[in-house]
Amino acid sequence: MANQATSLTCIIKAAGYSYKGIADVWRHEAAFRQELVVAMPSYHTGNLAECGCDSMHFIDRIGGIGADC
C-alpha cells in the first residue's frame, strides 16, 4: 500500500513523461524539428483553404464544436 497512486496522479505523471519525451526529441532529432516546421503551417493553411472559413471557425472545427463550413 506504500505506492498506490490515484488515477489522476497517473495521468499527470504520464503527461509529464510525454512532455519530457517530446522535448528530448525536439532537442536531439533534427528531422523531427524539420518535419514539424514544415507540417504545421501547411496543415493549418490546408484546413483553412478547404473550409474557406476564418481562423475562429478553424479553431471551432478542430475543437469539435462544429463550424458550418
* pLDDT tens, position by position, 33-67: 888 888 877 766 665 555 555 555 555 555 555 54
Q: Give me the residue spans of the domains in the chain.
A: 7-63
Backbone angles phi, psi at 18, to 5 degrees: -65, -45
Q: Which position has the higher pLDDT, 14 or 50?
A: 14
> Does residue 18 carry a pLDDT above 90?
yes
Predicted local distance difference test score (pLDDT) of residue 42:
72
In three-state secondary structure terms, 54 is coil
Per-residue pLDDT for 22 more than 70?
yes
pLDDT of residue 64: 54
* 22: nearest Cα among 5, 68, 14: 14
Q: Is the pTM of this model over 0.85?
A: no
